Structure 1
Amino acid sequence: MSVSSFNRRWAAVILEALTRHGVRHICIAPGSRSTPLTLAAAENRAFIHHTHFDERGLGHLALGLAKASNAPVAVIVTSGTAVANLYPALIEAGLTGEKLVLLTADRPPELIDCGANQAIRQPGIFASHPSDTLSLPRPTRDIPARWLVSTVDNALSALRAGALHINCPFAEPLYGEMDDADLDWQQALGDWWRSDKPWLKTPVELSSPKQRDWFFWRQKRGVVVAGRMSAAEGKLAAEWAQTLGWPLIGDVLSQTGQPLPCADLWLGNAKATTELQEAQIVIQLGASLTGKRLLQWQASCTPEEYWLVDTQEGRLDPAHHRGRRLISNVANWLEQHPAEKRAPWATAIPGLSHQAWQLTAERSEAFGEAQLAHHIRRYLPEQGQLFVGNSLVVRLIDALSRLPAGYPVFSNRGASGIDGLISTAAGVQRANARPTLAIVGDLSALYDLNALALLRQTSAPFVLMVVNNNGGQIFSLLPTPQSERERFYLMPQNVQFEHAAAMFSLRYQRPESWAELETALNAAWSKPRTTLIEVVVNDSDGAQMLQNLLAQVSHL
């Protein structure tokens, strides 16, 4: 028996099983031990192949693909620390619900814990973070192909959200021509190879039933909190809340159009929070909230019931309200629970929101970070999408901007790390080929600089906007000790990104005015290529403007 040939046949069964569960995108890093998986993936025409030399970025590329395609995405890496580099993306997927299938090649058992090169203990390496783990045995004819395919099918059928880790040990030799010695083992699956259905179907559906007392609650004073949801759901949620006459507090990722903009400002006003105390029910559509004042109000509000609707299982309410945890697609839930036309009950909040917006607009002429956040709507590409990084800019956009209803917005707001943001944005763009504006801070860009390699070829215009405030200025919003803030928190790097763009053959612009920014963007949206636009701003101006506006709005 040719070991290399049988390894390939074993891997081919695994990869073909993935296609039966909707996996189309597969992300591959270079490696020797993963050769059986890589070659099996390369031969399978059902896959769209993506490659990257950096496994940490590769995991986030897959995460972005899964976000935008709403389908599971597979990743292939070799053994050793290559596996560990997938951890950040796996954690994020577990918190935000994207489906990843991580195929990690491994040394066979006899090479573990004996000093063999590149051999680490990989089973269980991700602890409790994957949704499920599957540690396969070394490929052998003694195990029938139907065991392998049904085992993979069973694990994939149970994957509702997060990552499935499949650890795949392979013995050497890993290279060699295919032979026919083990063809009968593979062909024992018969006409399964010519079908498009799983070998083992295990339907798993989990959804909360219609709330029979909804007709009673919809007549009460309610508040809608809109968290992360799809663009289509965001529009539906906004219309639903408007019909009910309930105030809607929209997160930057809600895509509701934020009918009451600047919520993170007006929620700091006592008149607003006093009026919100009159709410008898709060319904949160989608998890993962960004604004600090929104999170503070969410933690302190005491309605009669708090309902949280999201596709993910588990407790998603850090304030542990009394109420209902409803597992459902937001659009389906809204259809099951129609709104009844009622007059708005909150009278103070709309006025406070309007005043906060006007105050923000009056201070938005200067060329700066907070002003960019306020104006961001005018810079979005038509029929495009926005990816927002996890730095000060996401909070400024959430607090000071008003995004169009139904305009797609993506971010990594699960663990809210700065690792892999450019890679994730690249994956989002590859999944749907839309013109994409991605905004990150300078430290985030430095952290994922390797990902610029992923942007060298794009199927639609891609703008990576790096807001360079020389360090982690988000810490200026926190009570970090002034004497140690710069050295241990802000960590200014005093870098610019022109040479980074040149290293990866990307176009580069550094506008210094609104007119120059508009000129740079107009050129960038004209062709399917990547442009890195660096917006250099004064260090603490963005944080300072937000704090000043908070103080002003609190006294309205």
Structure 2
Amino acid sequence: MSKKIISSIPLAQQIITISKHKNLKHIVISPGSRNAPLTISFSNDPYFKCYSIVDERCAAFFALGIAQQTNEPVALVCTSGSALLNYYPAIAEAFYSDIPLVILSADRPKEHIDIGDGQTIRQEGVFKNHILCEANLTNDIGYSDNLLHTNFSKIAKAIDIAKNEQGPTHINIPFYEPLYNTIEVAVEDVVALKSTNDVNETYTCNEEIQFEWNTTSKKLVLVGVLPPNRINDVVLDRLLKDPGVLLFTETTSNLHHAKAIPSIDQLIAKLTAKEFKQLQPELLLTFGGFVVSKKIKAFLREYTPKTHWHVNTKKAYDTYGCLTSHIKTTPQLFLDSLLGNDHPISVSNYQNFWLTQYQQGVKGHDAYLKSIPYSDLLVFDQLIKKLPKQAHLQLSNSSTIRYTQLFKLPKGVEVFCNRGTSGIDGSTSTAIGAAIMNNKSPILITGDLSFFYDSNALWNNYIPADFKIIVINNDGGGIFRILPGDKEASYFSTFLETTHQLKADKLAAMYGFTYSFTNGEDFAVKIDTFFKGNGRQILEIHTPRLINDTVLLKYFSKIRE
């Protein structure tokens, strides 16, 4: 029988054993001393897939990317003190995006806290506002049977909640010294421990919901962030056979249908008050995560429907101020039940009228793009046109996701973006973690600030050989030139737009990426060559800072002409 080396500390042994039997397989470890018992034990057990990421902020987003793709909990292991605090941005993102993480933080024993000892902070409760469960373990030198049972239930519960409720949990683990002592034990067979709180996989619509749906002629279905393949094509076809149903999707919805409207802002950007009244739904059905479009939020808050149902197994935000029902199931199960084969079809012109209006906007979109100078908008047009038909696309936040929203993507392109908190931090780290779990060609499109902010993400030994990064460099926070504000004020360029003259070439060289650059003259050729190229690549596209906002702001008025 084969042997393995593990920590001699019973609490560390217990955590490793329960993690294995709960199938907590992916372990992202950052270096430190206090977490040595966990690091030694995880890394010497062939059951676990361990990753070493030095920067804890990057490590947490890297883990988030893995969990984003697998829908299974990923463990984060760090030492005591400020190391733990660097996890917080990714934990908040996981909390709002329903992504399962299990934080395993090593700690000093309680009697060492607040006495001036090194690398100690108050770790208990540090994430309390953005986690689903906290387990503060107890330890002593002898580690009694009573502690064994108490800690077992806490550890198992935290892992179960992360898995079943899809979110972050925190297990805080005090360790006494010595930390590096080990023992040799046999590699045991894995027997799965029963999990609690298994998700209900059945659903039946009640009569009230069914009746209201069947008797309503203006039904708007709005889909936010949704992983690929959560709703099948068969049920989409049944949904959109109803002429009273209008389907709004976003880039991050990962839904495609000929009768869907994927670029919401193209339709509603310049509607008159009378047209808004025509568009106002009687019933709003929403599912998926947060919606990017500010315009659709403003519309629904002013022209509120009588009824708003949100379908989600876990939570329902009253985003539009009119929520009437939280339906606790999955979108697929809900639509399967709602749209039985014999459900009546409403008499309505709602869908057809607005699809016609949308197609007119698409014509205006195409015409406007033929007339504009080199700019962010023109670059995104070319990027979307040249994307591989099958790809795993990660987007950074701010202007990147908002530009992409204006275009229809190929059905085979899966789209992900950290929209839980919508921060620019961690986009590259998330993309790398996700890419190692996804078989499609990995592509990250990011803005310059987001890329430089997360440049430690490239300090990573797990980047796939075909990982591609496109950096749209407009010399700062270009989105602030689109937002209201005095762009000529003395503070604007320094403190809001934060202009710079940085380029990505030195980072590319340091981390072994092939680098190419364009500032306009040959950008279409460079994009084409980039997508056809092999190996890890960074393409930096420099765009004109003082033109981009003018081109975009004119877009919404011109496409209606």
Q: Same fold (TM over 0.5)?
A: yes
Q: 1:5 to 1:251 in 2, by over 3 A?
A: closer
Deviation, 1:301, is 3.0
Any idea what the Cα deviations from partners look like across 1:144-198, whole Å, max 9, x if unmatched?
5344333311222233122110001111111134278xx9xxx9xxxxx534221
Matched with 1:249 is: 248
For 1:440 and 1:373, the matched residues in 2 are separated by 11
Asked if 1:338 corresponds to 2:342, the answer is no
Given residue 300 of structure 1, which amino acid in structure 2 is its aligned partner?
A: E
Q: Is the 8 A contact 1:27 1:50 kept in 2?
A: yes
Taking a change above 3 Å as real, the CA distance of residues 320 and 21 of structure 1, as seen in their structure-2 partners, is farther
Question: Secondary structure at the residue paired with 2:251?
Answer: coil
Out of 465, 468, 474, the position equivalent to 2:473 is 468
Percent identical among aligned pairs is: 27
1:446, CA displacement in angstroms? Answer: 0.9
Secondary structure, counterpart of 1:232 in structure 2: coil
The reply on whether 1:285 has 2:287 as its aligned counterpart is yes
Counterpart of 1:393?
A: 400
Query: Which one is further off, 94-103 or 171-180?
Result: 171-180
What TM-score does the superposition give when structure 2 sets the normalisation length?
Answer: 0.89
Q: Is the 8 A contact 1:284 1:307 kept in 2?
A: yes
Q: Which deviations, in whole Å up to 9, do the C-alpha atoms of 1:512-555 show, x marking residues without a partner?
A: 421221012111xx4xx3211111111143332221121234x5
Q: Find out whether 1:92 has 2:90 as its counterpart.
A: no
Rate the CA distance shift 1:545–1:328 in 2: closer, same or farther, 3 A: farther
Q: Does 1:521 align with 2:521?
A: no
Residue aligning to 1:190: none
Whether 1:349 and 2:354 are equivalent positions in the alignment is yes
User: Which digits, 9 at most, give the CA deviation of each residue in 1:221-272, with x for residues without a partner?
Assistant: 2111011112213554743442223111112211123732431132121264
1:517 is aligned with what amino acid? I
Distance across 2 between alignment mates of 1:335 and 1:406: 24
Q: Check 1:457–1:175 CA distance in 2 against 1; reply closer, same or farther (3 A cut).
A: closer
The reply to whether residue 444 of structure 1 matches residue 440 of structure 2 is: no
Q: Equivalences for 1:21-420 in 2 at 5 Å?
A: 21-139=22-140, 140-144=142-146, 145-159=148-162, 160-178=165-183, 194-198=189-193, 201-205=195-199, 210-216=205-211, 217-221=213-217, 222-233=219-230, 236=233, 238-245=236-243, 246-257=245-256, 259-268=260-269, 269-270=271-272, 272-277=275-280, 279-313=281-315, 315-338=316-339, 340=343, 345-365=350-370, 366-398=373-405, 400-405=406-411, 407-420=413-426
> Does the aligned pair in 1 maintain the 2:64–2:430 contact within 8 Å?
yes
Instruction: Name the Cα RMSD after superposition.
Output: 2.5
Mean CA deviation greater in 234-243 or 406-415? 234-243
Q: CA deviation at 1:431?
A: 1.7
SS of 1:158's equivalent in the other structure is helix
Q: Which runs of 5+ in 1 are unaligned?
A: 188-192
Per-residue deviation at 1:129?
1.1
Alignment equivalent of 1:494, drawn from 496, 501, 504: 501
1:132: Cα distance to partner?
0.8
Gaps (5+ residues) in structure 2?
Answer: none
Q: Could you tell me how far 1:322 is from its partner in structure 2?
A: 3.8
1:74–1:102 CA contact under 8 A, matched in 2: yes
Tell me how far 1:281 sits from its aligned partner: 0.8
Equivalent residues of 2:392, 2:438 under 8 A apart = no
Work out whether residues 282 and 303 of structure 1, in 8 Å CA contact, stay in contact via their aligned partners in 2: yes
Please give the TM-score of this superposition, normalised by the length of structure 1: 0.90
Contact 2:472 2:540 in 1 (8 A): yes
Shift of 1:336: 2.0
- Number of matched pairs: 533
Q: Report the 3-state secondary structure (helix = DSSP H, G, I; strand = E; otherwise coil) of the residue aligned with 1:303.
A: coil
> For the residues of structure 2 that align with 1:372 and 1:69, how far apart are their CA atoms?
32
Aligned partner of 1:481 in structure 2 is 486
Distance 2:262 2:197 in 1: 42
Q: 1:232 to 1:177 in 2, by over 3 A?
A: closer
Give per-residue Cα distances to partners, 1:345-386, cap 9 Å, x unaligned. 334422332222222222335543212333443333343211
CA distance in 2, matches of 1:143, 1:228: 46
Output the amino acid matched with 1:106: D
